[in-house]
A and B are shown apart, each in its own frame.
Chain A
């Protein structure tokens, strides 16, 4: 019964919440009114948007030394998670059979271990920093902690499921993924998508003023 629920209705429900929620939130961002700027632009807003979208992948030289820890941990976590999500062998098979109809070469086991270590290390460092750094502690919300813990649990159950290969662990992992998907659109996890319009809107603003941002 539990297996049926987790592999069936709950899975489809969580997917529906995820996709509809994400699209809904993005529509709210993209289609909410924004008054036209009546000042005469000095330069192109479009090229500013594109420039800033890419430039923010790398920290400014002037502040890089002060933010090394969150930047390095952030990259380790995001790259590790990306690799696990799209290149872990069970995920490739799952995506091929259940969603896409095609697959690609998964990463070897040793690469899985490295990616998992990156992702865990990055996430733990970022979360500890959230707890101990006075600035991050002050500005963090309950949502940030729930998002971090939920992501951690999903990764942990995923690793156990893969390493142990038991049905129970696989179900537990899938269940946590479903919770994560349902939580995603209403949480800080949405930055996965909203950072794109955020960077581009700011870049366009700077671009029309002729500022390289």
Chain B
């Protein structure tokens, strides 16, 4: 057995906890989870059945933890797991799963299937069975600090533009600020309007905030790859940055997986609780609105619909906030048929969008979103995750759809109530 395979199997063994035992011993192989997964519904390929994606871990559990596996092993009849048992699943797990978690909502016996898929990713990443694009992005995140190779100089250049456009100062390395904001790679590279919006909104609401030159990026390629150790290193950078500046709160950018990495998995990755609170930007905007510090004016008249980023809503619990915010600025908001906790993924989550090999499959999976959007008759599609936004824009473009894709934070910034001149 190769060293890499042994490392992968050892990692998988380490992932077998009481949940895995409860899940595998209760799965009745009904296949209901397939109907919740866009990679299955849009391809009709049974290999994309969610629980089938967990097969490497199930096989290991069966071989080493179940009665029959132990009996076979005692009789010298068990079949050892091979490289193929892992290699054959690389495509299913990395290309054919966006970690959207919809399958985990429907299983009649309560299996958290996407939770197990993440465990499988961890094993595959340690055995060296992960897509090149994602491995490269993760390496850049470790070496340079960003999966897209973005450096502090790039951010400083963006800040200059934002300051020139808004006439407002972007606070950098302010010790003792209430909030430390983070950006995702996409927000730096593709959507500088996000930072511009933050500057305007925080100025409007009188929020004490800062960026950190040590920790400006929240994108966590380690989480997408399934490598918990790298994910932990990337989270630790943010924690160190926040501790250095002694901030009370850290603001997660819109980006869904960055939020998951920072808010929910981060403390577990680094093995300790944070000395600060993590708040998603939508949560913060909703709080500011409820406190009367964020006042909007005017309403969009065009028909809007909202795409819930899976990691924010279904895996993150942020459901009412975007609706409260949209309600304030739109008089013509319409929900998709399946929205909120049961929304359909755009197809680009879980590292799929950083995985070039998965491009065609991602566009096929997008057909689900396409039909959902078309059914609403909306003229603009609002979302709150830069990764979803690029996937949606790509899908809209390649399907020649007539719909604009917008970011929610920017929309709020565009509707800020003018303050009387003092």
Contact = CB atoms under 8 A, between A and B. Distances in A.
Interface of A: 25, 28-35, 37-40, 42-43, 52-53, 56, 59-60, 62-63, 66-67, 70-71, 74, 126, 130, 133-141, 143-144, 185-186, 188, 190-191, 194-195, 197-203, 205, 209-213
A197 B29 contact: no
24 contacts: A30-B18, A32-B17, A34-B19, A38-B272, A40-B267, A56-B110, A62-B337, A63-B36, A67-B32, A70-B31, A136-B31, A139-B31, A143-B68, A185-B67, A188-B27, A191-B25, A191-B26, A194-B26, A197-B22, A198-B110, A201-B19, A202-B107, A202-B115, A211-B314
Given A39-B267, A134-B46, A70 B22 contact: no
B272 to A, nearest CB: 7
B317 A135 contact: no
Contacts of B27: 188, 191
Contact of A138 (B47, B110, B268): B47
Contact of A35 (B17, B40, B51, B316): B17
Interface stretch (B78-86, B145-153, B258-266, B403-411): B258-266
A206 B401 CA distance: 35
Task: Pick from B27, B47, B266 the residue with the most CB of A within 10 Å.
Answer: B27
Given A39-B267, A191-B26, A205-B115, A34 B17 contact: yes
Contact of A34 (B18, B67, B109, B317): B18
Contacts of B67: 185-186
B141 to A, nearest CB: 21
Interface of B: 16-19, 21-23, 25-32, 34-36, 40, 46-47, 49, 51-52, 66-68, 104-112, 115, 263-268, 271-273, 277, 313-317, 319, 337-338, 341-342
A199 B31 contact: no
B271 to A, nearest CB: 7
B34 A213 contact: no
Given A63-B35, A66-B35, A29 B49 contact: no
Nearest to A36: B268
Contacts of A194: 22, 25-26, 109
Contacts of A126: 30
Contacts of A34: 17-19
A213 B265 contact: no
Given A66-B35, A135-B46, A139-B49, A209 B264 contact: yes
Given A39-B263, A186-B68, A211-B314, 10 more contacts: A34-B18, A53-B110, A56-B108, A70-B30, A130-B29, A191-B27, A198-B110, A201-B19, A201-B112, A209-B315
A141 B267 CA distance: 38
Contact of A211 (B21, B32, B277, B341): B341
Given A30-B18, A40-B273, A59-B108, A188 B264 contact: no
Contact of A39 (B26, B109, B268): B268
Contacts of B68: 143, 186
B109 A60 contact: no
Closest A-B pairs by Cβ, 6 of them: A199-B110, A210-B317, A38-B267, A135-B31, A194-B26, A32-B18
Contacts of A210: 317
Nearest to B45: A134
Question: Interface centre among B19, B23, B29, B266, by most A CB within 10 Å?
Answer: B29
A178 to B, nearest CB: 18
Contact of B52 (A71, A138, A188, A190): A138
B342 A62 contact: yes
A141 B337 CA distance: 36
B335 to A, nearest CB: 12
Contacts of B22: 29, 194, 197-198, 201
B17 A33 contact: yes
Contacts of A40: 267, 273, 277
A144 B62 CA distance: 14
Contacts of A62: 337-338, 342
Contacts of A43: 317
Contacts of A31: 18
Contacts of A66: 35
Contacts of B115: 202, 205
A56 B18 contact: no
Contacts of B267: 37-40
Contacts of B111: 198, 202
B32, B267, B268 — most chain A CB neighbours (10 Å): B32
